Structure 1
Amino acid sequence: MSSSPLISGIQQVGIGVTDVPKAWQWYRRVLGFDVPVFDDRSEARLMVNYTGGNVQSRHAVMALNMAGGGGLEIWQFTDRTPQPCAFQAEPGDLGIFAIRFKAPDARRAYDWVKTQPQANVGTFAKLPEGDGFWGKDPDGNVFQVAGDSSWFQQNDQPTGGVAGVVVGVSDVDASLRFYQHLLNPCEVVYDQTGTFADLPTSTPGQRFRRVLLRKTVTRHGAFSQLLGNVQIELIQALDREPRRLFADRYWGDCGYIHVCFDALDMKALKTRMGDKGYPFTVDSEESFGMESAAGRFAYVEDPDGTLIELVETHKLPILKKIGWYLDLQKRKHQKPLPNWMLRMMSLSRVRD
């Protein structure tokens, strides 16, 4: 396997909601996602295989926390009522169970988040690596906050952007092969089996296998320094049969609909994944516009059908107010963009 990285970081995690403005306001105020990349209303024509065979209209906002880390794509159907999960998600259920947000100081982040309206936060806990805590947003989506070493810039915000996701799997070994192949080069940080006091489960004493996979930030990709490290935790429930979080529902319904990685060479990535038996299930093949941003996007499924989005960015708004857009297709290399240029995006910050 080639060690040439084809993924630079997590670009965003998609969250299906019932009210985009309300959900985004909470994530702005509590977790600092206040810089919009796009605010788009259109039809998801290429996703019909995951939306009941019919083209669905939607409203989506992508927002960043400029301290560093991936963003959020807050997503809502506009021509049908988004459907919630029919049961309470538990660790090990198949799909994206939680987002992992980064923090420069996990204790300070805990003290901040637990005082915020509609933040349902558990106790400060010892995680398998370091300290942190679990919580739920106002829609009941589970998140984790933990320390991280990769930062784009330090500011007064107690939390940063997306550092990773926690994914429920039916077979850790099979899923590990998939994610290692996708994220190569990366490392296994821990592989532990047992009971875990920190996990937010309704049935204490259950046994799990937990594996944390980390891709450390490198200087490959225009946005690599902004996006930082990638951490994917795989959780397998050993004492019960897991349920599929999106069983009998559409992509875009309530919950975490995908994790999106920033792709450096989509053509090479398609070949790499296809050669190992992981074909793209969706591929725009050419540049696809999302309001003021554009890129080639594709989807691939992990062994349990969890949707992984891949985006090769072609156009990005730096400062929409004056019509400054960056055309990445004209760049002849994959080196990081200058920090000053990315910081200009902060001038579009939405203040409450």
Structure 2
Amino acid sequence: MTVKINGIQQLGVGVENLQEAWKWYREHFAMDIRMFEDEAVAELMLPHTAGKPRPRHAVLALNMQGGGGFEIWQHKGKKPQAPETELHLGDLGINIGKLKTDNIQKAFQTFSESGLEILGQIEKDPSGNEHFYLKDNFGNLWEIRNEREVFRAEKSVNGGVLGAVIGVKNMDESLKVYTEILQYDKIVFDETGVFSDLDKLPGGEGKFRRVLLKHSEKRNGAFSPFFGSSYIELVQALDREPRDIFEGRIWGDPGFIHLCFDINGIDELREQVKEIGFPFTVDSARDSDTFDMGEAAGSFAYIQAPEGTLIEFVETHKIPILKKVGWFIDFRKRGHHPLPNWLLKLFRFKRVKDK
């Protein structure tokens, strides 16, 4: 089997209070589909949790317009430690989560009327695509990007995760991970300068090199019709020394903690990343064929990109579709070709409704 990168499954969001944060994300970003919720101990993440197993509470939430989800993640065995100072664009790691919208004007108006902290106005990026930025109640930055691809029409003005903006120290070194391993082989733009669409972001008035990447070919894994297309934007600050966004903190603390990809071929990937120079730092399949993730099961692994970003890979073995009637899909028996849209639309029955 060759390695297949099927799309962004989720963006990890570390928070201080999971229920408070998830309620906010349901209300404003329509991340209201609960794929799983689990309290357990992160026993395998020792390389990224100061060598200690960490109790945690996590939920994977999706938006029915499609795109990647949020893995909302809260430390339970220690007090979540927020950054001591404001992060600036180009700091090392995941700076901004990208969310898609098929109506950029309506999204801007709705978020403005809801009192969200919008940074600037609707602008065009170097490719000519319209977008704007906002900051959520927990200090995280989000880019709302014009994207016509929608899985299912909904009332919400935005869909799920379309990608991420990642601060890097050396562009050419980091590109190896995103182009060779993650297969983002098409450069949408590669521009250097001072950018008017960034100048309202913290630290965004400086000089940067920006590279926007996408896949040249359509993804075709089981969940690819739902995840859709995605983009990675790498940003290198050229007139200041960036700092590590998790300096003095550990994985799971508040902020964007990882970017997770749905894949097939984890055994082949293990050898591939080792050859390229980025071996797994975490590998659930080392001791077991499958890993129990509450209501789902699979294998997962992590690598660390040169700038420090943690990239997670998940090969799904089993997921619940309608848990009440005991309907699960076992991909080890079914295979990994795309699921039919009618089945993926059943995710809507996992919606969490607020009173």
- Normalising by structure 2, what TM-score? 0.94
Match of 1:303 in 2: 306
Q: 1:331 to 1:126 in 2, by over 3 A?
A: same
Displacement of 1:185 in angstroms is: 5.7
Instruction: Determine the C-alpha separation between the residues in 2 that align with 1:267 and 1:66.
Output: 31
Q: Which runs of 5+ in 2 are unaligned?
A: none
Structure 2 counterpart SS, 1:124: strand
1:193/1:209 contact within 8 Å kept: yes
Displacement of 1:272 in angstroms is: 1.6
Matched, 1:340 2:342: yes
Matched, 1:105 2:103: yes
Match of 2:260 in 1: 260
Instruction: Determine the C-alpha separation between the residues in 1 that align with 2:111 and 2:137.
Output: 12
1:5/1:183 contact within 8 Å kept: no
Match of 2:118 in 1: 121
2:208/2:238 contact within 8 Å kept: yes
Displacement of 1:112 in angstroms is: 1.2
Which among 69, 72, 82 is matched to residue 70 of structure 2?
72
Displacement of 1:339 in angstroms is: 0.8
1:217/1:225 contact within 8 Å kept: no
2:3/2:268 contact within 8 Å kept: no
Matched, 1:292 2:295: yes
Instruction: Determine the C-alpha separation between the residues in 2 that align with 1:188 and 1:43.
Output: 39
1:68/1:152 contact within 8 Å kept: yes
Match of 2:353 in 1: 351
Match of 2:327 in 1: 324
Match of 1:156 in 2: 155
What do you get for the CA RMSD once the two structures are aligned? 1.5
Q: 1:204 to 1:295 in 2, by over 3 A?
A: closer
Instruction: Determine the C-alpha separation between the residues in 2 that align with 1:98 and 1:185.
Output: 18
Instruction: Determine the C-alpha separation between the residues in 2 that align with 1:108 and 1:274.
Output: 46
Of 39-48 and 101-110, more deviation after overlay is shown by 101-110
Match of 2:140 in 1: 141
Pairing of 1:1-352 with structure 2 (within 5 A): 6-117=4-115, 119-122=116-119, 123-129=121-127, 130-184=129-183, 186-199=185-198, 200-203=200-203, 205-215=205-215, 218-285=218-285, 286-332=289-335, 334-352=336-354
Instruction: Determine the C-alpha separation between the residues in 1 that align with 2:325 and 2:184.
Output: 39
Letter in 2 for 1:266: I
Instruction: Determine the C-alpha separation between the residues in 2 that align with 1:202 and 1:151.
Output: 30
Displacement of 1:201 in angstroms is: 3.3
Instruction: Determine the C-alpha separation between the residues in 2 that align with 1:231 and 1:86.
Output: 29
Structure 2 counterpart SS, 1:173: helix
1:6/1:269 contact within 8 Å kept: no
Displacement of 1:43 in angstroms is: 0.2
What count of residue pairs does the alignment treat as equivalent? 348
Instruction: Determine the C-alpha separation between the residues in 2 that align with 1:207 and 1:48.
Output: 36
1:150/1:217 contact within 8 Å kept: no
* Residue deviations 1:221-273 (CA, integer Å, cap 9, x gap): 10011001120000000000000000111100010000000111111112221
Instruction: Determine the C-alpha separation between the residues in 2 that align with 1:79 and 1:245.
Output: 22
2:88/2:204 contact within 8 Å kept: no
Letter in 2 for 1:251: W
Q: 1:168 to 1:328 in 2, by over 3 A?
A: same
Instruction: Determine the C-alpha separation between the residues in 2 that align with 1:276 and 1:138.
Output: 39
Instruction: Determine the C-alpha separation between the residues in 2 that align with 1:201 and 1:73.
Output: 24
* Residue deviations 1:140-185 (CA, integer Å, cap 9, x gap): 0011000124322222221000000000000111111221012226
Q: 1:205 to 1:59 in 2, by over 3 A?
A: closer
Structure 2 counterpart SS, 1:28: helix
Structure 2 counterpart SS, 1:305: coil
Letter in 1 for 2:346: M
- Normalising by structure 1, what TM-score? 0.95
Structure 1 counterpart SS, 2:44: helix
Displacement of 1:216 in angstroms is: 5.0
Instruction: Determine the C-alpha separation between the residues in 2 that align with 1:202 and 1:345.
Output: 37
Structure 2 counterpart SS, 1:46: coil
1:44/1:55 contact within 8 Å kept: yes
Q: 1:204 to 1:60 in 2, by over 3 A?
A: closer
Instruction: Determine the C-alpha separation between the residues in 2 that align with 1:106 and 1:272.
Output: 39
Structure 2 counterpart SS, 1:114: helix
